[in-house]
Structures are given as C-alpha cells and as structure tokens.
Amino acid sequence: VSTASKRSETLMKQFGPCRYCLLCTDMDTGRSRGTAFVRFAQESSVDACLKQLLPLRAVMLDGRRLDVVRALNRDELEEKQKEKKKQKKDRRNLYLAREGLVRPGTEAAQGVSPQDMTKRAKLQARKRKLLANLHYFVSPTRLSVHNLPPSVDDRKLRALFLENAPHGARITEARVMRNLKSPTAESYGYGFVTFTKHEDALAALRELNNNPGTFGPKKRPIIEFCLENKAALLAKERRLQRSKQKLKELHDSHSDEQKLVEVPLEKKAAFMGAAANKKMKGLPTHSGPKVRTKKGRAGKQKLQLKNKKARKASAKPKTFVKNMRTEKDSFSTMLDKHKKVHSKQTPSVRKQVV
C-alpha cells in the first residue's frame, strides 16, 4: 500500500508540489480500495492536473486506468447523496436508448444519406416496440452495429472498436452476423460488440456512431446500445448451468471408471493355485476334480451329454416290469376265487358241471 501511495504521489507531482497523497484502504483486510486523495499546495496545480488528464480519460498506473476528478467537500457530498435518493432507479437503463439518436433536422443529420435516415427510423420504431415489453432492457456493455460493409469480418470489427475505445479496454465479443445457409456465408450487414465496462462501450459508440470517416459519408455506421430479453437470458443461463452439470457428471463417471479399471494379473506359478478375479465372486458352485477337455467348455458339455445317454441305455425298463407284475397278480387272484367256489360245491353239482 505504501508503495502504491508513493507511485501515485510521484505521478501527481509533475503538476505541482503535493502536501500529501492518501490511499484509501479496507479496515478489515488492509488492502487498497482503489481510491486515493491528493492535496496540492496550490490551486493552480489542481487546474493544471484536471486540464491535462480529463481529456485523455485514460491515465495508466501499474497497468490500471485512473479516473481523475475534483474531490467534493462534505456539504457537496451530502447534497449529491440526497439527489441520488430522490432519483428513481432505472433498472432497465432506458436512458441509454437515446444514446446515438440522430433525428432529422438536427446538426448530426446534416450530410446523412436518405437511405441511412430511413434505416435509422426503422431501427428506432423497432426499439420503441420492444421496450414496451417489460422483459426487455438496454444492455450497458453490448453494442449493435449496422451498415457494415461486406468486407468487414469479426477480426476487423474487433480491431475497429479497440482502435476507437479508451486505452486498456477489453472486448469479450465481436461478431458479424452471416447467412450460414448460403455457400458463401455472406454478411447481413450488422453485428454485435460487447465490452467489459460501460464507460468503454460508451466512448466507442460516441467515437464511431454516424462517423463519415469510418466507412464513407454515404454509408455511416449506426451504433446503439443493444436490447436484451431478460427471460431469454435467464433461460440461456439455465441451459448453461444444466450443460455444466452434465459435463461434471460425465467427468465424474469417467474418473470412477478409471479408478475401477482392473490391474492386469501378474504371472503366477502353477503350484500357487487359483488367482483372485473381481468378476468371479465367491467359491465354486461344486467341488471335486475339474474336467478339462481339448475343446474346452464345448467339449465338456458334449462329454456330459454322452454320459447321460449311456446311463439311460443301461437303466432297466421299470415301467414294463411293473405292468407284468400287475397282470400276474390279477390272474392269481381270479384263480384263487375259482378254487374257493369249486371247493364249496357238492359232488352231485360237480358231476353236472363236468
């Protein structure tokens, strides 16, 4: 912190002698909050500093951009805070919808071609219709760019905006919309550029919008802050979260599979016995000698079938013997009945029967 304070004081001393340079720090962590106060010995030094640094809008110190403004006294600070409380919060950033507007009859409309003015009127009507829906809001960092020549691609669009943005500005998206169904993928003539900071996007818009020196006086760039659909953005965020969750689950499953990969068995001696295998759990279902044949499992099955047939052929026909015994028992029973009846008859009756 002390080193940063010394570097800030050294930077400001070029405009005049300084009484002190106070760097604001967080009371809990002790880290810098990114704000400092410099008190000059003379009022003229303050004017010289603001006169030289304000137009640049980009003073770099240790790779960071500094914003230099005049400090407020206590009374001015209280009045400013009261004004902020009175103002209603514009959560949809509707004030940015007027940025870059070129109306007929104004000074900015002088020299603009009728085709460009017609296109601006159509874009303005579309913007008014969309903003009637409360789901739409004005993005503070994303710009829509119209009237792009066919030769401008994503790389040239990014380079154009970086060239006209403040030093140190970062662009996360620079895309020219194209007809992907066409074999040549020709440009639709418009695109989008997204900055990380609103200040950078605003500076680039004011530098390039309606500028006759960018693409020529007959076809000037039409740049405005892009409209976003809150419901669509939330749905996109949900899809992104689901996709991340699926990728995480897939990664976890692959890592689990890699952990469960079986280590190849090392060579073992013949006298060692059976080796453990994760796919074969528990002891064998039967005990006794293990039958091995030349043809492996198929040969073992054929051998078992052959033995079964041999056992069936050598077995006695139990069903036939049972039938014979049944017939013999019935005949002996009938013969015994006949003997009993014959013994009860008298001799005279026997002679008649004979």
Q: Which helix (H) or strand (E) holds 244?
A: helix 230-259
Is the pTM higher than 0.75? The answer reads no
pLDDT recorded at residue 269: 64
- 326, 327, 333, 339 alpha-carbon torsion, rounded to 10°: -160
pLDDT in the model for residue 133: 92
The pLDDT assigned to 296 comes to: 55
Tokens read off for 61: 């110190």
DSSP state string for 118-150: HHHHHHHHHHHHHHTSTTEEEEEEEEEEES--T
Q: Which pLDDT score is estimated for 130?
A: 94
Alpha carbons 93 and 146: distance in angstroms, whole number: 21
Domains in the chain with CATH codes:
3-83 (3.30.70.330), 94-232 (3.30.70.330)
- Neighbouring C-beta atoms of residue 308, cutoff 10 Å: 10
Query: Of all helices (H) and strands (E), which one includes residue 100?
Result: none
Strand pairing category for 136-146 and 187-195: antiparallel
Q: Which residues of the chain have pLDDT under 70?
A: 1-3, 54-59, 63, 87, 256-284, 286-288, 290-301, 315-331, 338-354
pLDDT per residue as tens digits for the range 118-160: 999 999 999 999 999 999 999 999 999 999 999 999 999 999 9
